[in-house]
């Protein structure tokens, strides 16, 4: 596994609507393994591998949950809102990068336990109570940070036993998987569009734009999913488990996947001895739904998902073997998905 590349992908900033840095990194990685590369008006990076089969869109979103500044006070403290779903508790005492006229470090401050009232100690943190401290004077912060400057979280990828942990593995692990699958696939029997999408975390926006343009017959997303295989959770609550393979999505709150395509992905996995499990998620949503809702057409959809613990935190955790299985399944899918016949399954 190319951990050097994965670390770059995880640590390169790319807030929703501000994906330029991560898009440039991805483009450099895929230039030698594609027939056409383009960027559309919303910012999706579209990598085409030409073939004689049906149009297939494989989508991995490259944006990461982030913050956006809303006000700088006279002391230089920055108030902010969210770009994507956050539990405010996960933001307290975190280090961040503030991307203004220059990029500067900051910390999200909070009251120390010594100065909290009894009521504050018992209540959950509220977003409106949080602020970013850059350590700079107010006048200097106002020069650098305008309202609407994006903020991304700090955090290095690290190995954790048989796992990997860090921030933004949702969905940078799938960006990595799709890049590696494109490199690994020895052939392609479809007209493949590998799309690194934008603004998924704020409403699946990029995938919808790309899908309406491409009009794929088959849409396969690559994303993370919940691995709730933790103390205090019963087996019936786990959704997926780390170390049991890549996951094939059956449903989430935004989509019911095409049963025949789910069966096809499982067939490919079985034929190549790729360890896999089923994902039945009763919450959340991914680019999968953005590819299914084609106006006047629709498409067959599913998703190759990476089981992930502690999603939307700075310690998201995945299994190395699950990531490898995801690469293997995505590569085999690129080679074989053109043979998909919905009537046969």
Catalytic residues: 200
- Collapsing DSSP states into helix, strand and coil, what is residue 230? coil
C-alpha to C-alpha distance for 245 and 343, rounded to whole angstroms? 28
Q: What is the DSSP string of 22-82?
A: HHHHHHHHHGGG-SEEEE-TT--EEEEE--SS-EEEEEEE----EEEEEEE-TT--EEEEE
Q: What is the dihedral of CA 267, 272, 273, 275, to 10 degrees?
A: -70
**Residue 200, C-beta contacts closer than 8 angstroms, at least 6 positions apart:** 16, 61, 63, 171, 206, 207, 223, 286, 287
H/E stretch holding 279 reads strand 276-280
Kindly list the distances between the CA atom of residue 240 and the CA atoms of 24, 249, 253, 281, 307, in Å, as whole numbers in the listed order.
32, 10, 16, 9, 6
- Collapsing DSSP states into helix, strand and coil, what is residue 181? helix
C-alpha to C-alpha distance for 133 and 151, rounded to whole angstroms? 12
């Amino acid at each position: 596994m190319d951990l050097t590349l994965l670390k770059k992908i995880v640590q390169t900033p790319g807030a929703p609507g501000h994906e330029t840095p991560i898009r440039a990194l991805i483009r450099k990685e895929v230039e030698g393994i594609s027939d056409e590369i383009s960027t559309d008006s919303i910012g999706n990076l579209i990598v085409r591998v030409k073939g004689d089969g049906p149009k297939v869109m494989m989508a991995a979103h490259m944006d990461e949950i982030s913050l956006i500044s809303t006000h700088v006070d006279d002391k230089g403290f920055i108030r902010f809102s969210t770009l994507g779903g956050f539990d405010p508790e996960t933001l307290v005492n975190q280090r961040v990068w503030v991307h203004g006229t220059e990029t500067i470090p900051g910390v999200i401050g909070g009251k120390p336990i010594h100065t909290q009232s009894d009521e504050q100690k018992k209540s959950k943190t509220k977003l409106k109570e949080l602020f970013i401290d850059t350590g700079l004077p107010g006048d200097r912060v106002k020069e650098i940070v305008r309202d609407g400057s994006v903020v991304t979280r700090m955090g290095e990828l690290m190995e954790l036993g048989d796992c990997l942990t860090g921030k933004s593995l949702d969905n940078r692990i799938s960006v990595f998987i799709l890049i590696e699958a494109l490199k690994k696939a020895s052939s392609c029997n479809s007209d493949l569009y590998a799309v690194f999408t934008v603004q998924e975390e704020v409403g699946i926006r990029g995938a919808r734009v790309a899908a309406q343009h491409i009009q794929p017959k088959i849409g396969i997303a690559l994303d993370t999913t919940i691995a709730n295989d933790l103390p205090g959770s019963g087996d019936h609550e786990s959704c997926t488990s780390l170390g049991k393979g890549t996951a094939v999505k059956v449903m989430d709150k935004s989509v019911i996947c095409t049963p025949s395509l789910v069966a096809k992905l499982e067939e490919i996995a079985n034929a190549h001895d790729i360890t896999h499990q089923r994902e039945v998620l009763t919450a959340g949503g991914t680019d999968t739904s953005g590819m299914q809702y084609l106006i006047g057409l629709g498409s067959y959809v599913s998703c190759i998902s990476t089981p992930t613990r502690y999603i939307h935190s700075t310690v998201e955790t995945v299994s190395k073997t699950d990531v490898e299985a995801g690469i293997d399944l995505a590569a085999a899918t690129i080679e074989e998905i053109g043979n998909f016949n919905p009537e046969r399954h």
